[in-house]
Amino acid sequence: MKPLSVSIYRYSLPFIRPVPVGSRSIATREGLVLCLQHGPFRGYGETAPLPGLHEECLDDAFGELEAVLRHADLQTGSLSALTVSEQLPNNLLPSVRTGIEMALLNLQAAWTGSFIPLPGIPAPADRLPLNALLFGDTPTVLQQAAALYRRGYRTFKLKVQARNADTALQQIRELDRSFGNDVLLRLDSNRSFDRNEAREFLSSLPADRIAYIEEPLSDPSGIPELVRRTAIRCALDETLWQAPHVRHELPDSCLGAYILKPARTGGISATTRLALEASSRGSAAVISSVYESGISIGFYARLASLLSRTPTACGIDTFRQFRQDLPLTPITSESGALDVETVWQRSRTPDESRLKQLSAWTL
């Protein structure tokens, strides 16, 4: 089946409060929504480069999205999350590739009724546990954690930086004192430590409470020694797209997870391949968002459900940060998890009053 028409929209969504992105905070999230349509069947995808994370800006993404779709010969019918990239040009901006691949798979699923399963994983998971991001000063972090714990969350993620290592250490110890082994902590340092700083910091932590630390070092070649000295495994995030060869140079025993942001790792197919690779190495495949709208959140939940019958907690809890989202029916969690089918169905019906049409044409 070929898409017969294309529409591209723009959105701007307010956050409940500014969210930290690198060294800055942002109050609103802006992005593009692509709709591919054939008769009554629609497939939505999202292209939303995040300032401070992506090299491309929104205008760059719109220009490439429109140029590619005006000339591409797109087909659906037998596409899987592994093969959807094959009919697209190489070297697309990662946020653009993600939006097109998402829309194609959603259109095909609207037509056929389901996603094509991945090899060796015959049945998708029904529920997807969530990783809740904590941020703020220590009282705020503890209040967030207590409220989320009551709602069923058992995996928390905490940003840690070399410049505020003492505060992070206090927060981690307070969380350990409050919840003990009832929760698992994931840390993310965005490469802020040197080797000595990282070793000193991690050696001070309750290692059995820490699932992993994302990108602890400015030079990831020091990860094996750091893990050997601290017994805390590391997760790869930026390294996966900035220096992809490095992951093959690290022993499996050092790695706790691949953090997979489809809009940054190069699209749905690239993310799926990395997820299967992580699993083969005994590491978790943690699908994560870059503060995209509920359109992406529902799709990522469906994607994660295809990767494992027992998926790890994923980093797509970011929908909680929006004051207003795109799906007509808001995405919600229950007991710290998403009902995959429910959120995916909700993500496929956006509120068009929150979308501004930029371009539309027939194919």
**Catalytic residue annotation:** 159, 261
Other beta carbons within 10 Å of 104: 24
CA 109 to chain centre: 21
What is the rounded CA–CA span in Å between residue 216 and residue 210? 13
- Is 325 assigned a ligand-binding role in the annotation? no
- Residue 214's alpha-carbon distances to 83, 115, 173, 255, 325, in angstroms, are 29, 31, 19, 10, 28
What is the rounded CA–CA span in Å between residue 265 and residue 54? 10
- Is 214 assigned a ligand-binding role in the annotation? yes
Known binding-site residue numbers = 188, 214, 237
Known binding-site residue numbers for Mg(2+) = 188, 214, 237
